[in-house]
Amino acid sequence: MFILQHLPIICLVLSGQICVVTSSCNAKLENSLFDDLIGMMLKLKGTGHGGQGNISTKKDTPAFTAYRNTQQTLSSNAIVKFDKLWTNNLNAYDVTTGVFTASMPGLYHFSAVVMSVDGKSLFLHLWHNDTTTAGSYTKGDGYKTGTFDVVLNLKKGDRIYIRCKSHDGQKIFSNDHNYSTFSGYLIAK
C-alpha cells in the first residue's frame, strides 16, 4: 500500500493492492492524472490500448460453435459433422469435414453435447490429430446425451474432431431444437 500526499482521495484495487491518494489539485488535473493511471494499469495488465498481455480481440481469437439440427447416421470411424454454425471466428471449423484446425498455437477449451437416438447406444471420442482424448458412451432407454469438456495445448495446424467408435449405424439425434453442439475457443496464447 502506498499513500501520496496532496492529491484527492481515489481508491483502486489492482492485484490485491489498495492505493489511496489524497490531494488538493483541481478537477481537470485530477481527471487527467486518473486517466493516465488507469491507462498505465491497463497496459501493464495487457487489456488496454497497446498492451502486451495475452488478451486477444474478438476478431483474432479462434472460436467456434457448431450444431446439428438433423440426425446423422455414422459409419464405422466416421467423423461427426456439426453442419450449422453460430460462431466461426477465423473460419477454423469446417462444416463439410467436421474438423476444427488451430490457426495459432495455444491453450484451447473444447466442449460438446451429443444426443443419441431413442433407446440406442452412442459411442464417440474426441480426437486430437490422430489420438483419442475423451470418450462418451450412452446406452439405455430414451434419448441420452454424451458430453465432452477438455482443455488442450495445440500447435498451429492441429486438428480436433469427434469420431464414431468402430460401430456402423450409430446415429446422432438432433432436430430444430439443436440438441447436438460442438464448441471450441482459444483460452491463452
Q: Which residues pair with 113 in a beta bridge?
A: 147, 181
pLDDT digits (tens, 9 = 90+) for 113-131: 999 989 888 999 999 999 9
Residue 157 has pLDDT above 90, yes or no: yes
Total-model pTM? 0.69
The pairing of strands 63-68 and 10-14 is: unpaired
CATH architecture of 58-188: Sandwich (2.60)
pLDDT digits (tens, 9 = 90+) for 15-47: 444 444 444 556 565 555 556 656 555 555 554
Residue 106 has pLDDT above 80, yes or no: yes
Reported as a pLDDT band with limits 50, 70 and 90, residue 80 is very high
- Region for 42 from its dihedrals, namely left if φ exceeds 0, alpha if ψ lies in -120 to 50, beta otherwise: alpha
Cα dist from 148 to 17, 114, 124, 182, whole Å: 39, 9, 10, 9
Domain residue spans of the chain? 3-45, 58-188
